[in-house]
Amino acid sequence: MRQRSLIAITAALAAGALTLTACGSRDSGDKGSDSGNGGTTVTIGVDAPLTGDLSALGLGIRNSVDLAAKQANKKNYVKGITFKVESLDDQAQPSSGQTNATKFVGEPGVLGVVGPLNSSVAQSMQKVFDDAKLVEVSPANTSPDLTQGPNWRTSKSRTYKSYFRTATTDAIQGPFAAQYVYNKAKKTKAFVIDDKKTYGAGLAGTFTDEFKKLGGKIVGTEHINPDTKDFSAVATKVKNSGAQVVYYGGEYPQAGPLSKQIKAAGAKIPLVGGDGIYADDFIKLAGASGTGDLATSVGAPVETLPSAKEFVDNYKAAGYKEAYAAYGGYSYDSAWSIIEAVKKVVDDNGGKLPSDARAKITAAMQNVSFDGVTGKVSFDEYGDATNKQLTVYSVTGGAWKAVESGTYNGS
């Protein structure tokens, strides 16, 4: 009797244990391995300002690329390939960018580069990469000439076939801002300021052209020195011009203090800028008087993109110290486009990288198409993103809030 009972309880416990064991083994079998895939390691380079005024944006780019590589490795997305990331600091300087480009080209394991942040830096890197057929995907460059050539206003011509970008160009961003300012905000007199850099001057130019076409008046223009933070002389000129709005072509380290000093000079008018000022640091630098300032930024508002939510969750889970900032989603998509191109080349070559991998990856990039963090990711004949969405944000209650969203279709 006692033995029978013991057998019964043992059987019941064994059944339970076996059940649990079976569940456990089935579960872990589906997950695959999180560790490296073995085989070949492919390096994705990152060039961005990792130190200095713009480092908040640059570190967000670096971390987002790192996240893409980790996700690809975790999913074993390209069989036999492990991705790693090597990041170099360009300090937002064209000369540093060119040095970094040369370094990446000299490393055979680097098969694609994400970056840079600044259009002026990109200009110094494009030829270096193109000569080596090393693909470059920028998440943030907005200067039209990088893809459409120096005469893009009259005749578009692609100079570098290895250059792509996931960001929208100033050819759309500046006019979109002008349309909003003139038609929606009902401002007809603008004062235009830029920092003389490729990005800032270009953006100010496209805004000015459209604003004048619409019937608006430019009541003053100024250039500032980005190395200073004292803009009191310019602020006084803005005050005396009778402008209803200031358009600034440049980035947030200067735009924040500029906005603050314009208001302090007595001109209680909004400052409007492009994606270069769409950063939380702008709000901190501009202070309370920055409420009502506006920025256009490439892409749709993150909260309307389901794919973005997954990115935000994964970024948080990865525990990066710095925020993904304005270009995080675009950086992830830039890195993933390289991963997709590598996958295509490897798949077409019997599961291995070919000897001329760089050239083949550059060619494959032209036909990459996938649903990314920022929407559908693919490139047109110039290397520009086909997804051309823009959003106007306003500083409201100490944060950027979307107030207008647009989609460009130039076909």
Partner 1 sequence: MSGIGPLEPGEGTRAWDTAQEAPLGRRRAPLAALYARHRRAVLALAATAAVLAGGGYLYATRPQQPPPPEVPYPAQVVAMSYLRDRATPPGAPARSFSFEVLMRVESGPAVTVTRVTQPYAGLSAAAAPHVPFRTKAGAPRKITITMHVTECGKVPKDAGMPFLEVTLRNTRAIQIQSFILGPHYAQHLSRALKVACSNSGT
Torsion of CA 45, 50, 54, 56, to 10 degrees: 100
Would you say 18 or 288 has its CB closer to partner 1? 18
Q: Is 305 in the site for partner 1 (CB under 8 A)?
A: yes
> With contacts defined by CB under 8 A, how many residues of the chain interact with partner 1?
38
> Residue 140 contacts by C-beta under 8 Å, 6 or more apart in sequence?
57, 61, 116, 117, 118, 165, 167, 275, 326, 327, 330, 331
Residue 397 or 410 having the CB closest to partner 1 = 410
Q: Which is nearer to partner 1, 230 or 381 (CB)?
A: 381
Q: How far is the CB of 357 from partner 1 (least distance, A)?
A: 33
Q: Which of 341, 324, 387 is nearest to 136 (CA)?
A: 341
For partner 1, the closer of residues 15 and 288 by Cβ is: 15
Contact 375, 298 (CB under 8 A): no
Shortest reach from residue 35's CB to partner 1, in Å:
24
| Residues in region 323-382 near partner 1 by CB under 8 A | 375
For residues 60 and 323, the answer to whether their CB atoms sit within 8 Å is yes
Q: Which stretch binds partner 1 (CB under 8 A): 63-71, 133-141, 300-308, 358-366?
A: 300-308
The single-letter code of the amino acid at 10 is T
Distance separating alpha carbons of residues 209 and 224, to the nearest angstrom: 20
The 10 Å CB-count burial string (b at 16+, else e) for 15-49 is eeeeeeeeeeeeeeeeeeeeeebeebebbbbbbbb
Among 106, 108, 306, 397, binds partner 1 (CB under 8 A): 306
Secondary element (H or E) of residue 295: strand 294-298
Build a one-symbol-per-residue string for 191-220: x at contacts with partner 1 by CB under 8 A, - elsewhere.
Answer: ------------------xx--xxx-----
Q: What burial class does residue 158 get, using C-beta atoms within 10 Å of its C-beta: 0-12 exposed, 13-18 middle, 19+ buried?
A: middle
Residue with Cβ nearer partner 1 (141 or 179): 179
Q: Is 312 near partner 1 (CB under 8 A)?
A: no
What single-letter amino acid sits at 40?
T
CA separation for the pair 343, 329 (Å, rounded): 21
Q: In the set 184, 217, 316, 352, which binds partner 1 (CB under 8 A)?
A: 184
- CB-wise, 17 or 233, nearer to partner 1? 17
Whichever of 201 and 255 has its CB closer to partner 1, that residue is: 201
175 near partner 1, judged by CB under 8 A: yes
Q: Which residues bind partner 1 (CB under 8 A)?
A: 2, 5, 8-9, 12-13, 15-16, 19-20, 23, 27, 172, 175-176, 178-179, 183-184, 209-210, 213-215, 300, 304-306, 375, 388, 404-411
